[in-house]
Structures are given as structure tokens and as C-alpha cells.
Amino acid sequence: MREVIELKHPLVQHHLTRLRAADASSESFRHDVHRLSMLLSYEACKQLELEPVTIQTPLAQAAGRQLKQRLALVPILRAGLGMVDPVLQLIPDAQVWHLGFYRDEETLQPVEYYKKLPQSEPVDVAMVLDPMLATGGSAVAALEAVHEWGVPRVNLLAMIAAPEGIHQVHARFPQTTIYVCAIDQALNDQAFIVPGLGDAGDRIFNAQPDLRG
């Protein structure tokens, strides 16, 4: 399938511009991650299945529809944590499970340091959350873990993606739909997305090194 959905909404462009700015405070950065995560998840939820239900209003019975599928959010630690709460505001009954990877600076390969997924009863749909899709290594490792759990449908939500990361994900999981706010130019020599926005985890959690001397 190899589908990539890049959001073109004016609000996405507005908040993404604010997110990229080097002088944005950590508080401002978190707020824009929150807003963009809600917009991404809204788009990703368009494909969810519904089932009919009858409810009682204050005046009469009414026919309605409710979500049919069981959902899980799977943030990639640590930056993915910043995307969880806004998605839960739209899908409060979703399960939340965690995967942790760090990047080996020599090989640029992901190294797993935390994995919390159940051993049984897979959900129907999972959303892997990570603000940045750079090399695709962590995303592929996360998708492998979620598919091993037995989830039949997995989407990937990211703020910004590099073409290299998209190619890597779809080479391994062509059925995965990727939802992004922007597809940037490329990766630099250090495997950072250009123009990108820097280290999303550091900026979300105000853990950037002090470079003032």
C-alpha cells in the first residue's frame, strides 16, 4: 500500500512553523506538539470502523454510532510521550503501551532499552507515536514489536519525516500508513532531519544542553 498522508491544513502549517523555531521555549514547543498531535490523530481516526448503537436522549431514543475497534497508543520513548495526552483526549478509552529505544551514535542503529507490551489479546488498531521519523530504525523496531504482539493494523504518526525514514518503514512494512505534518528534504551526516527542528525529546522535556559557555 505504501501510503503517506501529509497534512496540508492551514493550522498544521501554522503550528509546525512555530514548532521549528529555534527560539521557541520548551513550554511553547510542548503546546505545539500537543496541537499537532491532535490534528494528526484526527486524520488517522478517519479510517476507524463504527458500529450502530441506540441511546436514550432526554427526549427519546436515538440511533448513533460508536467506535467498534479496540485501540492502543504506542509512544516511542521518550519523545513520543509528548504525543500521548492529546491523542487520549480524542480517544480516552485507548490503551497505552511503551517502547524505548536509543540510537547508537556510531552505528546509528536503534538499541532497545524498554518494552512494555502485553503477551496476548492484541488490539485491533495501534498508533505508533514519535515526533520524528528520521532514519526509520526506531520506527521499524517499534512496528516489528507491535506486529509480533499480533495487531493487524498499525499506523505511524510523526510531526516530521525524512524521505529516508519513509522508505525504510515501507520497505519493511508496506501496509503501514504514515501520517505526518511535513516531509523534509533529507538527513544530514549525523542523521538529523534537515531543516527539521532539532532533538524533539530534548525540546519537549527542556533537556537541551546549555551552550552559552
pLDDT per position as a tens digit, 139-158:
999 999 999 999 999 999 99
pLDDT at residue 56 is higher than 60: yes
Please report, rounded to a whole number, the percentage of residues in the chain having pLDDT higher than 70.
97
Please report, rounded to a whole number, the percentage of residues in the chain having pLDDT higher than 90.
87
* Of 78, 208, 184, nearest in space to 131 by CA: 78
Q: How confident is the model at residue 120 (pLDDT cuts 50, 70, 90)?
A: confident
pLDDT at residue 211 is higher than 60: no
Note the pLDDT of residue 119.
Answer: 86
**Could you tell me the pTM of the whole model?**
0.92
Section 25-35 average pLDDT: 96
Contact 55, 78 (CB under 8 A): no
Contact 169, 141 (CB under 8 A): no
What CATH topology corresponds to 4-50+67-204? Rossmann fold (3.40.50)
Note the pLDDT of residue 1.
Answer: 53
Note the pLDDT of residue 26.
Answer: 94
DSSP secondary structure of 83-150: GHHHHHHH-TT-EE-EEEEEE-TTT--EEEEEEE--SS---SEEEEE-SEESSSHHHHHHHHHHHHHT
Note the pLDDT of residue 209.
Answer: 59
Three-point CA angle 49, 159, 171, nearest 5°: 75
Higher-pLDDT residue of 122, 210: 122
Note the pLDDT of residue 133.
Answer: 96
Name the residue with cell 510531526. 159
Q: How confident is the model at residue 82 (pLDDT cuts 50, 70, 90)?
A: very high
Note the pLDDT of residue 212.
Answer: 37
